[in-house]
Structure 1
C-alpha cells in the first residue's frame, strides 16, 4: 500500500525556497502579502532563515539591483529585484498574490 505524501507543513524551508524561485522567475504583476494565520512557527522559522540564508539573499538583491539601475533597460528589473527583498529576507508566513497594477501601464 502506498503512503500518503508528506504534508506541506513538513518541509517549510523547501516550500519557501520554491516560492522565492517562482517569484524570481516572474515578479511582474505580483506582490507578497503576509498570511494572517501564520503563527509562531513561521516566526521561529523566519529567525532561522534570516540567520542562515535571508541576510545574504537580501544583500545580493540589493547588490544586483544597483548595476541594473545604471541602464535604462535594466530599471524595471532593478525595481523587481528590490521587490524580492522582503520575501527573500523572511519568506515563511508570506504568500505571492497577483496585483491589479499593470507592468508598464500608462
Structure 2
C-alpha cells in the first residue's frame, strides 16, 4: 500500500516539495557555512519524494547516543534554520496540504504534508528510517526513560 501511496504522492506534488528541499540544500551548500543544513535538506528532500512507509526519528533515539545534531548545537542549528528557511518550507507544505485536503481522497496526503511541515521547522538531529524501525526505537527509548524514572 505504501508503494501505491508513494507513487500517487510523487505525481501529485511530492516531486515539487522534494525539489524545493533540494534547491534549498544546494543554496546551503553554496554558502559553505550552511553545509550541515544542506545535508539535512537532501535527507528531508528524499523523504519528501516518497514519505509513505518511513518516519523521521531523532538520531539520539535511534542510536541511544547523543551527537552534535541532537545536543545544544543541534538546537541552535534548528533555530537558525527555522528563521532562514524552515518557515518557508513549512508554509509550502501547508499550502500543498490545503490543496490535497479539498478532496476526500487527498486527506491522507494532506496529513502527510502537515507532518512534513512540522519536520521542516526543525530537521537537524533527525534521520529517516522505515516506520517499524522508528516505532521500535521510540518504544525502546520510552522503556529506558520509564526504567530510569522508576529507579
Alpha-carbon RMSD across the aligned residues, in angstroms, is 1.5
Q: Work out whether 1:22 is the aligned partner of 2:46.
A: yes
Counterparts of 2:99 and 2:119, CA distance in 1 = 21
Number of residue pairs aligned between Structure 1 and Structure 2: 91
Counterparts of 2:92 and 2:76, CA distance in 1 = 23
Higher relative contact order (CA 8 A, sep 6+): 1
Aligned match of 1:96 = 128
Aligned match of 1:63 = 95
SS in 1 for 2:56: strand
Give the ranges of 4+ consecutive aligned residues of structure 1 lying more than 4 Å apart after TM superposition. none
- State the TM-score, normalized to the length of structure 1: 0.77
Q: Work out whether 1:86 is the aligned partner of 2:110.
A: no
Between 31-40 and 90-99, report the one with greater CA deviation.
31-40
- State the TM-score, normalized to the length of structure 2: 0.56
Counterparts of 1:87 and 1:58, CA distance in 2 = 8
Aligned match of 2:15 = none
Structure 2: 5+ residue stretches without partners: 1-33, 61-65, 133-151
